[in-house]
Chain A
Amino acid sequence: MPLATKRASVWPVVAVLALGVALPFLLSGGFQLRIAMLIWIFAILSMGFNLLYGYTGQISMGQQGFYAVGAYAFALLQIKLGLSPVLAFAGAVAICAVLGLIVAYPLLRLRTHYLAMATLGFGLILNGVANRWIDFTGGTAGLTVPPLTWGGEALGRTGIYYVVLAIAGVVFLLHDFIARSHVGRALQAIRDDETAAAALGVPVRRYKLRIFVLAAAIAAVAGCCFSVVSLRVDPSLGEFHILVSMLTIAVVGGLGTRFGPLIGAAIVTILPQLLLQFGAAETLIYGAFIVLFLLFIPHGLAGLVENVRWTRKSAAPARTAATNVLEVKG
């Protein structure tokens, strides 16, 4: 029986998370642990984008905006309202979800490049606000985030790592649950053909709205995690380079795959550390990655593994090419 007919198993995800738990014992030094935390944070951010664009086909180029709003809200709720980190976290995620709902309602009437540009405009506006509304956001200097404490003492680096891992684990399991279940199928159906999806009983508009809000909330989760790790939020969180990193992760890892966001995040975070001369050329290399992967490995690195079943199939002798018939008709 071919692989594709069996339901995908949750165990690979559990194995990866177990590796995540063991990681602090395998790594030497705080710097490597910090890299590991950044990988999880970027993986979280990209999972939201993957659900929205990779699975549902609805592009959002404003994810970095939600990421920044989440981080700022997390900091401001603690600083201005004196909320505990847990409440501030919940509040930040809720704020982004509501903001996501408010913008999704009109934006999701748009499609493809209209949606891309409108969401990008939304992201740029949020970034402008972060830079210019100095009284509230601290301007370009940003804000200091109070460190996480446990029993009256500041949490150590390993402790923070486990907090990030726990949150990333929940998001990862949720992402994977959606990807493997009938919900993921419905999302892919919307991506492939909205009319056909609707004919099969998928409430297309409602699903798009839900996933947009979910992706916004997930971006906020990533933003909160980042401010926990860096203890500082500033407008660079909502800037173009975050979007570039996220897109590179998505394309290199593999759009619409279960492990793409994590694989992509690992590569995009680790690669600059390995290549000494990376610094100035980083943006150029990311851009080249996006172009080359779109051209030659369109399903990304994860796609190479997850779609083995199909590449093996296509090696079989070609049958009557149905696609040709369809194209003439289309």
Chain B
Amino acid sequence: MEKLSYLILSGVTNGSVYGLIGLSLSIIYGSSRVINFAQGDFVMLGALSAIMFVTTFNLPWFIAIPGVIGVVMLTALALNYGVYRPMVRRKAPPLTIMMGTLGASIMIYGIGLLVWGPDQKFVPALLSLKPLIVGPLITNPQQLAIIATFAAFLVLTWYILYRTRFGLSIRATGVDPKVALLMGIRSERIVLFSFLFSATVSGIAGVLVGPLLGGQIGMGLMLIVKGFLAAILGGLGSPFAAAAGGIAIGMMEALMAGYGTSLYAEPAIFMLILLVLFVRPYGLLGDYEAERR
């Protein structure tokens, strides 16, 4: 029982991170029809620039966190103006644009390699990692913070999408960029916002999950794949379905590693997702995509 609750908690924690990446991917996909391959690298940048600000420069958290957000936002700006927008203007097909974001991801990795080196690093924890006993559960404040942040970003995304005029334009752009343009919605601005917002979400996820996973420049790769799997498991068309997919993947991973062996956890998840893709090509919760065809 104790093991199970421990596993569930750690599954939900990791799942929150996958879910946040899935949500980020879904937001960008919704506005631009492009999968941003560099999304996992924003998580990496969040974790490693937290080390830079807190450990190396010895800055307090209230300066470090805006600093981290600044780093990921600058990167998102570079990605939007340096890769996405020029490629769209050259009428590159979506897969080629994804190759472009992959190139950008490799560049971010390369810069990370120059700045932080290839080794795994200890990321300072924002909150305490000391065990905290809540009823039958053993957790720690950092874990709880991750789950709380996950919930907070879900609510924020929902609020922006469904309760603001701007959110309405985002959804309109997602349905049909050309019609949205006719309605006077500048889709380029929407895409820029998607990049900035999702970079912030992923960067903060990186700050929080860094102490648990350890910071390493290659971490973005596994995270983008799991975030993407989360998104397709839930359904790429809806940020919330994608986030739910993340929790599901985190749980499966934790349970399989806990009761089986971690050697088989990843292949098993992979098989499961393939299975889902064949039965429901647009995700367990999504019918958005299917409608479009």
Chain A's nearest CB lies how many Å from the CB of B83?
A: 6
- Known contacts A114-B232, A125-B266, A295-B100; A281/B110 CB under 8 A: yes
* A124 located at the interface, meaning its Cβ lies under 8 Å from any Cβ of chain B in the complex: yes
8 Å CB contact of B100 from A112, A128, A240, A291: A291
* A118 located at the interface, meaning its Cβ lies under 8 Å from any Cβ of chain B in the complex: yes
CB interface residues, B 260-277, toward A, < 8 Å: 262-263, 266-267, 270, 273-274, 277
8 Å CB contact of A284 from B96, B111, B218, B229: B111
* B8 located at the interface, meaning its Cβ lies under 8 Å from any Cβ of chain A in the complex: no
8 Å CB contact of A247 from B99, B113, B267: B99
For B, the interface residue count at a CB cutoff of 8 angstroms equals 42
* A283 located at the interface, meaning its Cβ lies under 8 Å from any Cβ of chain B in the complex: yes
A112→B106 CA distance, assembly (Å): 19
* B285 located at the interface, meaning its Cβ lies under 8 Å from any Cβ of chain A in the complex: no
* B68 located at the interface, meaning its Cβ lies under 8 Å from any Cβ of chain A in the complex: no
Taken residue by residue from 203 to 237, chain A's Cβ proximity to chain B (1 for < 8 Å, 0 otherwise) reads as: 00000000000000000000000000000000000
Residues of chain A within 8 A (CB-CB) of B106 are: 244, 247, 283-284, 286-287, 290
Residues of chain B within 8 A (CB-CB) of A117 are: 35, 225, 228-229, 232
* A116 located at the interface, meaning its Cβ lies under 8 Å from any Cβ of chain B in the complex: yes
Taken residue by residue from 274 to 286, chain A's Cβ proximity to chain B (1 for < 8 Å, 0 otherwise) reads as: 0000001111111
B-side interface mostly: helix
Residues of chain B within 8 A (CB-CB) of A128 are: 263, 266
* B207 located at the interface, meaning its Cβ lies under 8 Å from any Cβ of chain A in the complex: no
Q: Contact between B266 and A113 (Cβ–Cβ < 8 Å)?
A: no
Chain A's nearest CB lies how many Å from the CB of B93?
A: 8
Residues of chain A within 8 A (CB-CB) of B114 are: 280-281, 284
Residues of chain A within 8 A (CB-CB) of B90 are: 295, 298
* B222 located at the interface, meaning its Cβ lies under 8 Å from any Cβ of chain A in the complex: yes
Instruction: Select from chain A the residue with minimum beta-carbon distance to B100.
Output: A294
Q: Contact between B218 and A240 (Cβ–Cβ < 8 Å)?
A: yes
Q: Which of A118, A280, A286, A294 has the most CB of B within 10 A?
A: A294
* B98 located at the interface, meaning its Cβ lies under 8 Å from any Cβ of chain A in the complex: yes
Q: Contact between A294 and B99 (Cβ–Cβ < 8 Å)?
A: yes
* A120 located at the interface, meaning its Cβ lies under 8 Å from any Cβ of chain B in the complex: yes
Residues of chain A within 8 A (CB-CB) of B277 are: 109-110, 114, 118
CB interface residues, B 83-118, toward A, < 8 Å: 83, 86-87, 90, 92, 94-96, 98-100, 102-111, 113-114
| Additional A-B contact list (12), CB under 8 Å, known A107-B274, A291-B82, A294-B100 | A57-B95, A112-B94, A118-B273, A121-B273, A125-B267, A280-B113, A281-B114, A282-B110, A283-B106, A287-B107, A290-B102, A294-B87
The 3 closest A-B pairs by CB, nearest first: A284-B110, A287-B106, A290-B103
Residues of A participating in the B interface, judged by any CB pair closer than 8 Å: 57, 59, 106-107, 109-110, 112-114, 116-118, 120-122, 124-125, 128-129, 132-133, 240, 244, 247, 251, 280-291, 294-295, 298
Instruction: Provide a sorted-by-A list of 25 A–B residue pairs whose CB atoms are within 8 angstroms.
Output: A112-B98, A113-B35, A113-B228, A114-B232, A117-B225, A118-B273, A125-B270, A129-B263, A133-B263, A282-B110, A283-B106, A283-B109, A284-B110, A287-B106, A288-B107, A290-B103, A291-B82, A294-B87, A294-B99, A295-B83, A295-B86, A295-B87, A295-B90, A298-B90, A298-B92
